[in-house]
Amino acid sequence: MRKKIVALFISIFSLSMVFGQEAALSAEIKLLNERLSSLSYSFDQLSKRIEDNGWYDKLSGVAYVDKVRITGPAAVSKSKTAKGAGNPLIFWSYVFIPKEFNPAKSYPLIVLVHGGVHGNFGLNNDHIVKEFLAQGYIVAAPEYRGSTGYGKKFQQHIDYGGLEIDDTKSCRDYMVENYSFIDKNRVGVVGWSHGGFHALHNIFNYPESYTVAYAGVPVSDLIMRLGYQDNSYRRLFSADYHIGKEVAQDVKEYRRRSPAFQAHKLQTPLLIHANTNDDDVLIEEVEHLIAALKANNKKFEYEIYDSVPGGHHFDRIDSYKAKEVRLKVYKYLQKYLKPNKPFASLSELMTASYLP
């Protein structure tokens, strides 16, 4: 019996050692994952700094490129008494001014909003920025809360369809207040995808602040969107630092954040473009927005393109068709913003954007 008891104790001790090692290993793996996650934010910050240098390099011949720190509404805080709670959130914005500008003249402003749930204003926008500059626009591009490249804390301040919209408006206000040569009565807001979502919410919420808007392939209905996206995408919205709930848990909140359900607010001239083979924002989502605007007897313009190569990016790539579509956008904006050097032809666009 004594030998059996000793053997049992040895077995228990051996098992505790094994389980202890497994627990220690699990803790170490968890710690490594946390460090890797933190490193990914650091890599994003490094990538953004490299990209900033790219902006200065690519546009140095045609623009004064600046990056300014401005403020938006206070971030959502779980504790109203926490350190810094209630302070306006600081974020960055790019500013592009044509090299040939004359401060004695008046210029229209384009607020150019990037897309992505956690995106940023990347160099893939360079041709579009050059095209706006060539027409005589000042361009501002806000890196609103939730944008990638500014650290974990800033990225997790995301408020999709909420305070991030106010950041874009804050960028508009900053430009009008700080650059005397900007005409506050000639301000357009332009964006694709989630940037189009921003454009829509800005004119719905602040119609007096914008003269015209363009929404390309815009995110329009979050309820529909999360229905056809995968679980990894849905988890971005239900994270505790984000909306914090799934659609089924709070349908009204997702409606509030969806432009298609705010269509009754439209007062500003608006152009919408969509593409039937869009593999990101499905055409049905944009069609819901268009139907809602029509149901509310709103005046706006739209065009649905039929399976144009490029899908979601059909008018932002460098194909001939993409340039043709962008020219349509610019001609629409010209009617309301009256830039000093509007494009009259596609050859003018191509010369300004693609030739030295």
Query: What residues contact residue 328 under an 8 Å CB cut-off, 6+ apart?
Result: 303
Q: Round the average pLDDT of the chain to a whole number and report it.
A: 92
**Per-residue pLDDT tens for 140-182?**
999 999 999 999 999 999 999 999 999 999 999 999 999 999 9
User: DSSP label at 280?
Assistant: S
Residue pair 115/191 in contact (Cβ under 8 Å)? The answer is yes
Structure tokens at 337: 């913003």
Of 191, 201, 177, 167, give the one whose Cα is nearest residue 92.
Answer: 167
Residue pair 116/149 in contact (Cβ under 8 Å)? The answer is no
The reported pLDDT for the residue numbered 11 is 58
**Per-residue pLDDT tens for 287-312?**
999 999 999 999 999 999 999 999 99
**Secondary structure (DSSP) of 135-174:** HT-EEEEEE-TT-TTS-HHHHTT--TTTHHHHHHHHHHHH
Count of CA atoms in the C-beta half-sphere (13 A) of 193: 18
Q: What is the pTM of this model?
A: 0.89
Residue pair 190/112 in contact (Cβ under 8 Å)? The answer is yes
Phi, then psi, of 164 in degrees rounded to 5:
-60, -30
The reported pLDDT for the residue numbered 39 is 83
Phi, then psi, of 299 in degrees rounded to 5:
-90, 125
User: DSSP label at 204?
Assistant: H
pLDDT at 226 over 80: yes
The reported pLDDT for the residue numbered 342 is 98
Of 78, 194, 180, give the one whose Cα is nearest residue 144.
Answer: 194
Strands (E), the chain: 63-74, 88-98, 107-113, 138-143, 182-192, 212-216, 270-275, 301-305
pLDDT at 211 over 90: yes
The reported pLDDT for the residue numbered 6 is 46
The single residue listed with the structure tokens 């043709």 is 324
Element (H, E) at 261: none
**Per-residue pLDDT tens for 229-267?**
999 999 889 888 889 899 999 999 999 999 999 999 999
The single residue listed with the structure tokens 């077995």 is 11
Helical residues (DSSP H) of 179-279, grouped into ranges: 194-205, 222-228, 231-238, 251-256
The single residue listed with the structure tokens 């045609």 is 62
What is d(CA 48, CA 127) in angstroms, rounded to the nearest whole number?
Answer: 19
Least confident of 16-25, 62-71, 177-186, 241-250: 16-25
